[in-house]
């Protein structure tokens, strides 16, 4: 069945460091791919998404490119800030649009 | 006001008690979901509903039941709570198509003693 595997954390970075959180997926057909972010004490909110191969999603300085050939959707940011400290979830939606499949989440802490 | 509202936000209860978590939404979406979040396990789907007459089990539905009272309301019940149901529960809604994203409530933290 469909699934998502993402890099385990926790990840600790200094402010202004580069971030990459790896995410790979298994799916039949062409799913839509998403990154969600969960700030402390809050619900999940959409960070970015891509709905077809080679699409790049971007928001708040974060980017991820839908790579069909490597079945990946890695999250990147060139310079992280303390305010980026959160848990990040990779997810996919199957082609039928019925269900979402989430990775286990990667906790990021950015220190000044 | 939040588009997806969950009540209560926090609840402590005892083993064997019945508990209901409520979710209401103002987004006008037909699809609604209940997820459970546990540390290191990510989000796991409990139940989902595509309209008032369409309820489906997710991967971990045992011990839970749901009611879709209206398009905007979707409740999750634990008939007889047990300690391993201690978790953070999220309601979510989704708009049309397979490209649409989930919109989450702020979560209901449940502790079963």
Task: Dig out the tokens for B28 from the structure.
Answer: 């006008």
Considering only alpha carbons, which residue of chain B is nearest residue A107? B40
Indicate whether B109 pLDDT > 70.
Answer: yes
Average pLDDT of B33-47? 91
Q: Which residues pair with B22 in a beta bridge?
A: B7
Residue A37 banded pLDDT, cuts 50, 70, 90: very high
Locate the chain B residue with the closest alpha carbon to A35: B101
Q: Please, which residues have CB within 8 angstroms of residue B46's CB and are 6 or more apart in sequence? A: B34, B35, B36, B58, B60, B61, B64, B66, B76, B89
Place of tokens 């989450």: B104
Answer yes or no: is pLDDT of A41 > 90: no
- Taking 90 as the threshold, does the pLDDT of residue B18 lie above it? yes
Query: What pLDDT shows up at residue A94?
Result: 82
Provide mean pLDDT across the span A50-79.
96
| A1 has a pLDDT exceeding 90 | no
Interfacial A residues in 45-104 facing B (CB < 8 Å)? 45-46, 49, 51, 89, 91, 93-100, 102-104
């Amino acid at each position: 069945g469909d699934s998502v595997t993402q890099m385990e954390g926790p990840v600790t970075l200094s402010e202004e460091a580069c971030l990459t959180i790896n995410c790979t997926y298994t799916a039949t057909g062409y799913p839509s791919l998403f990154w969600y972010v969960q700030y402390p004490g809050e619900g999940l909110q959409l960070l970015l998404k891509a709905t077809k191969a080679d699409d790049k999603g971007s928001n708040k300085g974060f980017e991820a490119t839908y790579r069909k050939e490597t079945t990946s959707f890695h999250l990147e940011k060139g310079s992280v800030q303390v305010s980026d400290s959160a848990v990040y979830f990779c997810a996919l939606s199957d082609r039928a649009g019925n269900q979402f499949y989430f990775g286990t989440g990667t906790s990021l802490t950015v220190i000044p | 006001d939040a588009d997806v509202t969950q009540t209560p936000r926090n609840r402590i209860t005892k083993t064997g008690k019945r508990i209901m978590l409520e979710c209401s939404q103002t987004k006008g979406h037909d699809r609604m979901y209940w997820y459970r979040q546990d540390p290191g396990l990510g989000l796991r789907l409990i139940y989902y509903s595509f309209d008032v007459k369409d309820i489906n089990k997710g991967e971990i539905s045992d011990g839970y039941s749901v009611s879709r009272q209206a398009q905007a309301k979707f409740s999750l019940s634990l008939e007889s709570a047990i300690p391993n149901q201690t978790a953070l529960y999220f309601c979510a809604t989704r708009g049309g198509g397979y490209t649409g994203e989930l919109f989450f409530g702020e979560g209901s933290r449940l502790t079963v003693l």
